Amino acid sequence: MSFSEQLRKENDDLFEAIFHHPFVQGVGKGDISKEALAHYVKADFEYLNAFMQIYGIALAKSQNREDIAYFFDQIKFVLHDEIHPHRNFCEHIGVKYENLQGHPLPPTADHYIKHMMYHAQMGSPGEILAALLPCPWTYWEIGQTLMKEFEPSIEHPFYDWISFYVGEEIEHTTNELRTRLDQFAANSSPEEKEKMKDAFRKSCQLELKFWEMAYTLEEWPFAVKELS
């Protein structure tokens, strides 16, 4: 069994909890509240900005052109393509995408990006890859799960969102990150592998908590209310 297969197996509890989370199920049923969707998009816009910056750190630490090209392409993909699922949610809510940008991060999203930043700055290349991987991997499997469970037609309000995450690009991102992580793990000490496992599991835990954050409209205690 490859290292990434082992990670997937050891974190199946979290993957299953994500598939059954009420936000994710609400996307499949098409009945998730507009407030929860807006809370999600606000946080996710900022999360993806941070994600691109972390790809940038991984690019800066790359040892060969193939890796440089991979991280460069991934930044372009998030920047130009991963806006489509956000736009799908915005159209459903009836709000301009621009109005959901530039908002402060709720606690869980703030924690998640700082967790990835920590591994990007302090960890080995393997730790960075392990911290990044649950992002595409859980969404790709969410896409597959919702497609299978709800068989959405083109009229489904979130058809575009679900189709995007079940698509080939997300599969490619996931598989490429897995390949790189497996290569790194093959030459890593048991201590280093433990660090990668910890980074991967915490990112899976934070993926689950991110859905909960959006569903419960999580905010900082005693936060100063925004004007709009």
Ligand X SMILES: Cc1ncc(CN)c(N)n1
* List of residues contacting ligand X (CB under 6 A): 44, 47-48, 135-136, 139, 207, 210
Q: How far apart, in whole angstroms, are the C-alpha atoms of residue 136 and residue 171? A: 8
Q: How far apart, in whole angstroms, are the C-alpha atoms of residue 40 and residue 132? A: 19
**With contact defined as beta carbons under 8 Å apart, do 61 and 128 qualify?**
yes
Q: How far apart, in whole angstroms, are the C-alpha atoms of residue 16 and residue 78? A: 25
Report DSSP letters for 123-144, one per residue: S-HHHHHHHHTHHHHHHHHHHH
DSSP 33: -
Q: Which is nearer to ligand X, 3 or 211 (CB)?
A: 211
Q: How far apart, in whole angstroms, are the C-alpha atoms of residue 138 and residue 117? A: 19
Q: Which is nearer to ligand X, 174 or 188 (CB)?
A: 174
Q: How far is the CB of 137 from ligand X (least distance, A)?
A: 9
Q: How far is the CB of 227 from ligand X (least distance, A)?
A: 26
Q: How far is the CB of 57 from ligand X (least distance, A)?
A: 17
Q: How far is the CB of 79 from ligand X (least distance, A)?
A: 12
Q: Which is nearer to ligand X, 15 or 139 (CB)?
A: 139
How many residues would you count in the chain? 228
Q: Which is nearer to ligand X, 89 or 184 (CB)?
A: 89
Q: How far apart, in whole angstroms, are the C-alpha atoms of residue 158 and residue 165? A: 11
- Structure-token match 């597959």, residue found: 144
Q: How far is the CB of 42 from ligand X (least distance, A)?
A: 12
Q: Which is nearer to ligand X, 11 or 188 (CB)?
A: 11
Q: Which is nearer to ligand X, 192 or 216 (CB)?
A: 216
Output the six-digit token pair for 108. 């869980």
Give the long-range contacts of residues 97-100, CB within 8 A, separation 24 or more: 97/41, 99/228, 100/38, 100/41, 100/42, 100/45
Q: How far is the CB of 3 from ligand X (least distance, A)?
A: 21
